[in-house]
Structure 1
């Protein structure tokens, strides 16, 4: 459960700390005091989208931290799965929002990110906001509620995998059918492209080799002249060359070697150098002999032109051109064998489609059974919530095609009066009725979700009197097994809280501040009287508040 929530520099809240207990925690306060900011802070800790605009004026950052205790085994498992530690069932989550838009998130003091917070938050808290009752008006969401109640997620997961497999097969069949429709044209194009590439008989890196040969062919005269000069300088022609001169130097040193032994090493090095130069002269001479092999400039230019044309069509390099040719051959083989492949795919799709429909039928059958149980449970809850004449119906009807959640449509219908046909919730239910229907569903789902903490933000909207009192009693019942945090404007609902927190706004003339504090017994009576009567609190209003509080803690369902 959420044991402590600390908030700093969020909107009108400079600094606030909420100490929360197991059971029902109620939060009251005047409009604009900052109750919605508290819910926003919780949503931020849960990894939901937030904005730097929530940072209090004059501050450079906002901070929210939450301490959770005695968290569920499912939440502990999620913490460990995400790579974090949960010591003694306690967990600290923090999130800083900076003015430059950055977020600094931590779990147990270790860095995290918003995505991780969101994944973990789904196991810790469920928030029912002021506008969540409107989800009941979106009939596409009704099936989600039914599946959660019936714990059909595993079967739905199996179905979706099969549905996706059928969808992929259908896509492949469509693509192959389209390919078959263009078969002759594609065969001609692919055959021509394959022939053009194969006829060229390209070799890897051939273009680089040819470009080098082209340069040598273009400058053959200059190359030959300088090779001749270099070779003459080494071997000699009209005058002694380097080899002959080195021979003379070596011979001269050998003649005096016995008299100047210290020159022996020099003589040996000159001899070695003479052999090296002789090898270099051989290399130069070999180049002169190979000139005939690459002097066909016309052939080289023609070959490079062929490669250039193919590059413009099929790739930026010879490797890409050859790879394109391989791809063409594969496509051609696929098209030429497309008829057999298409029939095989269609046969396989029929088999997978049959399996998909079987799973969809299983889902539909289970939904119909679960729907009856859910309808009965909601009707019992609604009767308690001062809607005894309302009949709640879960309608499960088959559709003419498969969709990601099956082959049926789920709708919640209500009949407001005995004898009337059930109709869509959107056509009948008022705001107060929507709130109570949603509370009924939430209370029924509470044990199915396995989440310890439920937050209700003004679940009593549009409700007053005995209906509000019943909502408070229902929240108290759910709080016997879950931690409930409820923001309310109703004294009847607030009276059922085991802990009552007051959110109060003050101003120093230049800035507004919000404070949150737990109320004692007398303060609580005063706050209940304020909710009922406004700022002018009379003795009669205080007595009325005492009666409301006494009834809440002495009454029973």
Structure 2
């Protein structure tokens, strides 16, 4: 639900914060006070189109922020996870900035998002009914979901079963289509794959071969340098010549001198021992240098072979992948595809047989699901008729219309017709209504009157209150064109819905305002020739005065005050008897 709404430099508002609670939140005020500003601001948070007209005169930008408690709304949590927008302890913060240069910034939990994402999230948070466009019930694609929810566990479990089988059907259907496409150019594709597999097999490449070849190439390319260097090092250490005795010989002479000294004075014995160790190590090193020198290979032919091998590997990499591992992976994939293509006819026949069996199951379940929906639809129609009658729309007629879509190319056989199905079955469901006798039934979206639309929505919400998972409902000017007993019926229904949903309602009717759990008063004032809008939460005494104003105008009397007090007391009794 909406916990808090904050506005800054929005239309005629400098700064404003409203804290809403659960239950029925009523907003009242004199005509022109700016009650619609609150609804407009919430609409922007839900993805409405923004214009610079929303920015307060003289300011660079307008800012709107809404804090929502999303509870355990699974659908919304899944959507947030999809966009990487984790909620913080079930709290969601939506922010919208509208700048004077036409730039709009949308944020969810302080992370920037597109307007489309904000709009998608908003549809799970709030429904606005009245003069605005967030009426989810006007979206006919949602009607089948609402009907199924109304139908309860029997329909929902059947739909879940259908959805799982449908998922398997789509997977197999996709595989069959893929096989059919491959079958068209099977021979050509098979020849091509066999050639590629043969080419890779002839190359007989190994995972680490390229690194080993490059290392061997480096050694062969520098064989002269390696030979010369190792030979020179060997000569200096061990071989020597007439002009430059070897280090080994000089060290041997040094050891002899130290041995003579130590016979007389053994203080250099440690040095002598260390030098002998070095002497033996130099001998070992010299032997290694000699063997290395003698192992150096001068082989231009082998170098050419290596170069050719590396070029072959590079050619294969350009064809089949960026590494030897990629080439070998492609090799395995190609062999698998060769096997599939070789058995494509058998595989296609097997898949087609499985699909026919699944289609029969889907057809049976579609019929069963449709029959149960039609039974639920009759009950829903009767319940809606009763609700509309209580709302003084007894001449209205509500109907749940069922249709199917024929598709002779890709449909499945249901009752001897080739029909399109979705994961929800074969039914196309839409709610229709007529508000005047003699007029044809029309989609809900074709209802022109705002007052009629609001009461229809109220009737539907009353029926669906316990199953609809949108937490916050906003009714803007729902009292248009009603009064008397109809107004009282509307008031009681709003209170009933607020037991299951947070309701925010802008109203001119005292009957509706009297049912408030929280009552806000909005007013327009002039400070230093500047018009500003303010909103405040009313206490018990202030509520009585506001209802008296709504009953009799600004010059209310003791009679209207007493009447207002009685209305509030009566509303409390109604809520206790009916809803608590």
TM range (shorter): 0.7 to 0.9
**Which of 158, 167, 170 is the aligned partner of 1:164?**
167
C-alpha distance in structure 2 between counterparts of 1:64 and 1:425, whole Å: 29
The one of 546, 570, 575 aligned to 1:523: 546
**1:444 maps to which of 446, 458, 463:** 463
Deviation at 1:133, TM superposition (A): 7.9
Q: Partner of 2:409 in structure 1?
A: none
Alpha-carbon separation, structure 1, partners of 2:239 and 2:471: 100
Q: Which residue of 2 aligns with 1:173?
A: 176
| 1:407 positional shift | 0.3
TM-score (norm 2): 0.76
3-state SS, counterpart of residue 280 of structure 1: helix
Query: What residue is the counterpart of 2:144 in the other structure?
Result: 143
The corresponding residue for 2:224 is 221
Q: Distance in 2 between matches of 1:94 and 1:294?
A: 73
Q: CA shift at 1:385, angstroms?
A: 1.6
CA distance 1:550–1:300, shift in 2 (3 Å): same
Deviations along 1:108-143, one digit per CA (max 9) or x if unpaired, are xxx9x99xx999999997654643586555433322
Post-superposition CA distance 1:67-96 (Å, at most 9, x none): x8xx99999xx9xxx9987xxxxx987777
Aligned counterparts, 1:23-422, within 5 A: 25-31=26-32, 33-37=34-38, 40=41, 105=109, 128=129, 130-131=131-132, 135=136, 137-151=138-152, 152-239=155-242, 240-292=245-297, 295-296=300-301, 297-399=303-405, 400-418=419-437, 422=441
What's the offset of the Cα at 1:199?
Answer: 1.0
Residue 262 of structure 2: SS of its match in structure 1?
coil
CA distance in 1, matches of 2:377, 2:283: 99
Alignment counterpart, residue 435 of structure 1, candidates 429, 451, 454: 454
> Is contact 2:65-2:93 (8 Å) kept?
yes
Kept in 1: contact 2:494–2:503 (CA 8 A): yes
Long gaps (5+) in structure 1: 86-90, 531-536
Q: How far apart are the structure 2 equivalents of 1:331 and 1:21?
A: 60
CA separation of 1:250/1:349 partners in 2, compared to 1, >3 Å: closer, same or farther? farther
Summarize deviations over 1:38-84 as a string: whole Å, max 9, x none: 6745996xx98999998985899766557x8xx99999xx9xxx998
User: Deviation of residue 440 (structure 1)?
Assistant: 0.7
Taking the aligned partners of 1:215 and 1:411, their CA distance within structure 2 comes to: 76
* 498-507 vs 25-34, greater mean Cα deviation: 25-34
Change (3 A) 1:157 1:434: same
DSSP-derived class of the 2:330 partner: helix
Q: Are the aligned partners of 1:415 and 1:423 in contact in 2 as well (CA < 8 Å)?
A: yes
Distance 1:431 1:460 in 2: 9
Q: Secondary structure at the match of 1:386?
A: coil
**Deviation per CA, 1:357-397, whole angstroms, max 9, x where unpaired?**
33322321111011000000111111122221222121223
Match of 2:482 among 464, 467, 470: 464
* Distance in 2, Cα, partners of 1:65 & 1:136: 24
- Does structure 1 retain, via aligned residues, the 8 Å contact 2:176–2:348? yes
Q: 2:525 aligns with which of 506, 531, 549?
A: 506
* CA RMSD in angstroms, aligned pairs only: 4.6
Counterpart secondary structure, 1:525: helix
CA separation in 2, counterparts of 1:133 and 1:17? 21
**Which position in structure 2 is the counterpart of 1:534?**
none
Deviation per CA, 1:413-465, whole angstroms, max 9, x where unpaired? 3344556664544556644322221111011111334788644233335x334
Deviations 1:320-344 (A, max 9, x none): 2222222222222222232232222
Where do residues 488-503 of structure 1 align in structure 2 (5 Å cutoff)? 488-490=507-509, 493-494=512-513, 496-497=515-516, 500-503=519-522
Deviation of 1:149 (Å): 1.8
Q: Distance in 2 between matches of 1:321 and 1:276?
A: 48
| Alpha-carbon distance between aligned partners in 2 of 1:290 and 1:506, rounded to the nearest angstrom | 101
CA offset at residue 20 of structure 1?
A: 5.3
Between stretches 170-179 and 26-35, larger displacement belongs to: 26-35
In structure 2, distance between residues paired with 1:103 and 1:369: 44
* CA–CA separation in structure 1 for the residues paired with 2:518 and 2:311: 87
How far did 1:6 drift? 6.4
Q: Is contact 2:513–2:547 with CA below 8 Å preserved after alignment?
A: no
Describe the SS at the equivalent of 1:15.
Answer: strand
For residues 139 and 42 of structure 1, the distance between their equivalents in structure 2, rounded to whole angstroms, comes to 21
